[in-house]
Amino acid sequence: MYRIIQRRKLWFTVSGALFIAAIVIIATWGLKFSIDFTGGGFMEVKFKTERPSVVELQKQIDELKLSSAAQLQPVGDDSFSIRFAATDAKTHQQILDKLEATYGKDKIQENRFEAIGPVIGKELRTKAIYSIIIVLIAIILYIAYAFRKLSWPVASWKYGVIAVIALVHDIMIPIGIFAVLGHYLGVEIGLPFVAALLTVLGYSVNDTIVVFDRVREKLLRSGSRDFEDLVNQSVNETLARSCNTTLTTILALLAICLFGGQSIRYFSLALLIGILFGAYSSIFVASPLLVVWERLQKK
């Protein structure tokens, strides 16, 4: 049997270092928000002949001297997505006319154009934050109800609070990693990233509840047994299940991340990182926190 709970200081040190690093990175560099949250224009253009390089196309658009630099992203084998800060039809038409004049009107095809105002972008960002907060509160209430028959040695509502602490850990680290990607690679976060975080919350809390449920079963059967040993045994009994489930999920996400299209690559990467740390926190953060809270309660 692995002495996981007994080595909790090591796990807390690793998690604490990652969590603090994520907060420092987010505070220093911030997040690179997409037009979903900031407002702006988005167009996707298909080249019917050979697609130009990113450098060449960027040079052509820079000649328009827009108020802010447009961001280019290859899509598939023959298209580019172009994002720009302006939402007016004039800027959109300027870009389209420039491409048609440079590469030929019959060789350019606009597949998509969207414009999102800054007010709508701000509203979407607020709703995204509210949705995450509501999910965290709902998780506390649900776990408190599910574990309502347990009042010793840790009250039922504390299981919910500990699960949420682990969940905050699970979403802060992916956010910190995407802050790094945004700073160095220009990776933006939008509504798909929020969807990935919400998915991670659900996946991670499921893993945590499996461990907590095994603790509950043993408490109801064994009564006054040493709580630290009981939690450690519960973690060991669910370890294989957690590892196998996480591994199969990560393999699928890794395949999507490596071979999937550009549009879902960073969505799958956010899921992969979040689920990996979610599985880690269920075993090495949430469960040891139960023992720590029980010890503090005794004191």
Which residue ranges make up each domain of the chain?
Answer: 5-34+120-298, 40-116
Confirm whether pTM is higher than 0.95: no
* CATH level 3 topology of 40-116: Alpha-Beta Plaits (3.30.70)
CB atoms within 10 A of CB 123: 12
CATH number of the domain at 5-34+120-298, out of 3.30.70.1450, 1.10.630.10, 3.30.70.980, 1.20.1640.10? 1.20.1640.10
Q: Token pair of 107, please?
A: 């060789």
Q: Which of 120, 142, 141, 133 is nearest to 168 (CA)?
A: 133
The three-state (H, E, C) secondary structure of 49-91, written as one string = CCCCCHHHHHHHHHCCCCCCCCEEEEECCCEEEEEECCCCHHH
Question: Which pLDDT does position 90 carry in this prediction?
Answer: 80
Q: What is the pLDDT of residue 68?
A: 62
Computed on alpha carbons and rounded to an integer, the radius of gyration of the chain in Å comes to 24
Report the candidate in 297, 242, 231 with the shortest Cα–Cα distance to residue 275: 242
User: Per this entry, what is the length of the chain?
Assistant: 299
Compute mean pLDDT per 10 residues along the chain, 299 residues long, and list them: 87 94 94 79 85 83 74 80 76 84 84 74 80 85 78 77 90 94 86 88 87 84 76 89 90 87 83 93 91 80
